[in-house]
A and B are shown apart, each in its own frame.
Chain A
Amino acid sequence: MGKTIAEKIFDAHRVDNPSGTIQVISLDRVFCHEITTPIAINDLVSRGKDRVHNPENIKAVIDHVTPAKDSKTAEQGKILRDWAKRNNIRDFFDIGKNGVCHAIFPEKGFVRPGFTVIMGDSHTCTHGAFCAFAAGVGTTDLEVGILKGVCAFEYPKTMKVNLTGDLVPGVYPKDVILTVIKTVGVNGATNMVMEFTGPVVDGMSMEGRMTLSNMAVEAGATSGICKADMTTVDYLWPFIKSDFASKEEALAAYAQWNADSDAVYEKEITIDCASLRPVSTFGYKPDQVKNISDFENTKIDQVYIGSCTNGRIEDLRQAAAVLKGKSLHPDVRGIVSPATPEIFSQALKEGLIEIFMDAGFCVTNPTCGACLGMSNGVLAAGEVCASTTNRNFNGRMGKGGMVHLMSPASAAASGIAGVITAAQ
């Protein structure tokens, strides 16, 4: 019997099978940020176990609140910084070099096909775009991962998500994943891994695939996985070229992780993406999704472009293409947060930052920013934001605020119009 991607990865990483279907797997990467890790660090210190399993496998970043906004967030940063130094964690990204974890870690080539990754962050599923098993965990599991390099999971069941057809212009990976969540429901993939497959995924860049995988958790999934192909190899090539004689050889090595043709799936769905039009969420649940053409005069107060979902260079290009030569509606504030310094720098070179500034946007440093209402860009009660982020929960971006999730192009178009609108 054939195996899914997640089954292959689990079978290669199994350390122990202590209890029923629970499996302990070894971890190739433990990613850390300053919100959930300091509590684990303090607990390890108090247990007299201030050490790490393998400092090369641990990558850490300050991203949620940076620069620190008060004494408490400064302390969180300090705990992570001091710990990284004490434990020889070389890949620690502090202010000036830091960016949103799920954008900067892939950009540095830290995730490879077949890897297992955990982080104390639910959007860790993003890294599944590299044909990896990547899952968000709590602080206790993170602590075990730091100390022992292992984590316990249920042996994965997989939902296959076939994405067929050609996307029409104006429809982006964000529209695809929002439609998937609408179709599956917010708990439709709970206790399952989503494997995204089909010509739509094949045609997507790694940036697009990361947008897809990023929001798998909004359907309840443990991880969102894409197969490894030449797009994966091309993206990783600067980091792997000394490991392989050619890209073909790299692809052959990575393709071993791809699903077998006779793999058994728990569930399969197919979405014809040719019929998709730009969409946005309404309400407080990510599966409340409808075509933007069905919104009637929904006024917005803020546009937010950024986050681990849509703060990458392609996203900024798509938004800037809509904004070029235009200005934000006078009643709308615009905030754009390039997700990493490299993306910021590239956007500067391409003239995108100028386009955003000319349109009236505030350009912030790379940070998780407004997405979770923890640092900048918070909404006042009653305000509405057209946002490229991943959660529209009640109060997410500030108490009493309403968030509409959409693609960068749609968010830009909405900013110009002052009401929720798709790009022409």
Chain B
Amino acid sequence: MNTVITELSGKGIPIRGNEIDTDRIIPARFMKCVTFAGLGAYAFYDERYNDNGTPKNHVFDRSEYEGHSILAVNKNFGCGSSREHAPQALKDYGIKAIIGESFAEIFAGNCTALGIPAVQLSEQDIHEVQAAIEQNPSLELRIDLSEKMLQAGDTAYPIHLPDAFRNSFLDGTWDSTALLLSGKKEIERVYASLPYLAFNTASV
């Protein structure tokens, strides 16, 4: 029912810096929406635009990165607020995968639920890949989840992502909404076995 994701190809967009939090990816004032559609326009808004709305020449608006789909980031990307608006904004902008040194836990989980692999490279490797993209923005990147590697031009780098996430891409079960629409009986059995069901459902 779901799409199996074994590999993704595209060109990169480097965003340098550690601890880029979800408030920076999408400031809270853009969270007054009631669907996720169209959030891409606000991704990194305060870093892309001046107060008067003129662009600051952020990588998201530079012509050499136009249409690119693999974001290359550093350490603890997506920390802070659990807002799914952050990966949704990146997805709406056109990001299909993120490579980086490390990711915040909730952010990585949200990305997986949207079918966006967030894969880790060593600190040295990600710096090298970012520099390579900056030097040659049209560098072709290919993330191979089954072989656990990133091909950047002629160079291959080992990648890491938790087995559970990797398996969910490889077997197409990453869409948890669809996945968990099945299995009702088992859920009820566990509920019935809980030792404190009485207060679990008691009104308070």
Contact = CB atoms under 8 A, between A and B. Distances in A.
Interface string A277-300: 000000001000000000000000
B194 interface: yes
A275 interface: no
Q: Chain A contact residues (Cβ within 8 angstroms of B): what range?
A: 35 or more
A73 B32 contact: yes
Place the interface of chain B in its size category: 35 or more
B76 A220 contact: yes
Contact of A122 (B27, B80, B171, B191): B80
A16 B185 CA distance: 11
B42 to A, nearest CB: 13
B104 interface: yes
A18 B173 contact: yes
A317 interface: no
Interface stretch (A149-157, A262-270, A322-330): A149-157
Interface stretch (A139-147, A200-208, A305-313): A139-147
B124 interface: no
B148 interface: no
Contacts of B23: 372, 391, 393-396
Contacts of A70: 32
A90 B203 CA distance: 9
Contact of A121 (B79, B82, B181): B82
Contacts of A13: 190, 194
A108 B167 contact: no
A220 to B, nearest CB: 6
Interface in B162-180: 162-164, 167-168, 171, 173, 176-177, 179-180
Interface string B86-117: 01100000000000001011100110011000
Interface stretch (B33-41, B60-68, B127-135): B33-41
A22 B168 contact: yes
B195 A12 contact: yes
Interface stretch (A36-44, A227-235, A404-412): A36-44
Nearest to B84: A138
Nearest to A78: B34
A79 interface: yes
Given A22-B164, A187-B79, A393-B21, A38 B34 contact: yes
B168 A187 contact: no
Given A15-B186, A112-B199, A285 B34 contact: no
Contacts of B176: 140-141, 144, 152
Question: Which residue, of A13, A19, A21, A39, has the highest number of chain B Cβ atoms within 10 A?
Answer: A19
Contacts of B203: 56, 90
Contacts of A35: 31, 83
Given A136-B82, A186-B76, A395-B46, A141 B109 contact: yes
Nearest to B87: A138
A14 B190 contact: yes
Contacts of B82: 36, 120-122, 124, 136-138
A166 interface: no
Contacts of A18: 173, 179
Contacts of A374: 28-29, 31
B144 interface: no
A148 B187 contact: yes
A15 B183 CA distance: 9
Please provide the 7 A-B residue pairs with the shortest distance between their CB atoms, ordered closest to farther. Answer: A138-B84, A138-B110, A72-B32, A22-B164, A136-B82, A122-B82, A20-B164
20 contacts: A19-B173, A22-B168, A35-B83, A36-B83, A36-B84, A65-B32, A75-B34, A90-B203, A122-B82, A124-B82, A136-B82, A138-B87, A138-B110, A139-B85, A187-B104, A190-B104, A191-B105, A220-B79, A253-B196, A372-B81
